[in-house]
């Protein structure tokens, strides 16, 4: 019975549609370290002695640079950041995950995109498509606090045929 218990639990989890994070091995998605701002991690260094304030407010002492533009009307810091151990992120089901696994957090709401990302369709892969490749975390391209892509400057257009730089 002991042996089949995990299997049963797994079957139950899949059956109920719960995201089965336990079976997803971290090694399965080799990602570079998350792009944390320099000198900010571990968060616990500052937060350890601080009282947890769950009240929604304008931040004035620290993190003023963070402007939340990500469903900001219904979301606040501690929806994703874990109030207890600040070096972890917290999923809706209460599981704590490291910053390197943040795709699990994003996938809670963005299920379709998470599915595509796992298949290599959403986001960029580099390296060897048949072998060692590098995945990117959602946060390597999207600022988690302001995820919409900003317009960028395009590379220069081709020379027109009549352009002097194109003439023989």
Where along the sequence are the contacts to other proteins (CB under 8 A)? Answer: 116, 119-131, 133, 141, 149, 151-160, 165-168
* Measured distance CA(1)–CA(23) in Å, rounded: 20
Nearer to other proteins, 30 or 127 (CB): 127
Nearer to other proteins, 57 or 160 (CB): 160
We find the least distance from the C-beta atom of residue 117 to other proteins, in angstroms, to be: 9
Nearer to other proteins, 4 or 149 (CB): 149
Q: Which two tokens stand for residue 34?
A: 């998350």
We find the least distance from the C-beta atom of residue 147 to other proteins, in angstroms, to be: 13
- CB of 98 within 8 A of CB of 21? no
Q: Which two tokens stand for residue 72?
A: 């900001």
Place of tokens 């995945």: 135
We find the least distance from the C-beta atom of residue 45 to other proteins, in angstroms, to be: 33
What DSSP state is assigned to residue 87? T
């Amino acid at each position: 019975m002991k042996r089949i218990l995990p299997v049963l639990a797994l079957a139950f989890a899949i059956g109920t549609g719960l995201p089965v994070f336990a079976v997803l091995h971290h090694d399965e998605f080799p990602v570079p370290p998350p792009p944390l701002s320099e000198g900010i991690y571990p968060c616990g260094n500052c937060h350890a002695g601080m009282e947890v304030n769950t009240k929604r407010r304008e931040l004035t002492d620290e993190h003023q640079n963070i402007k939340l533009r990500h469903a900001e009307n219904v979301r606040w810091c501690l929806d994703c950041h874990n109030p207890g151990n600040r070096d972890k992120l917290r999923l809706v089901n209460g599981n704590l995950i490291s910053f390197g696994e943040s795709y699990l957090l994003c996938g809670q709401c963005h299920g379709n995109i998470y599915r595509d990302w796992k298949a290599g369709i959403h986001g960029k892969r580099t390296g060897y498509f048949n072998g060692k490749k590098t995945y990117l975390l959602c946060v390597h391209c999207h600022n988690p606090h302001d995820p919409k892509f900003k317009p960028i400057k395009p590379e220069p257009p081709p020379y027109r045929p009549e352009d002097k730089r194109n003439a023989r």
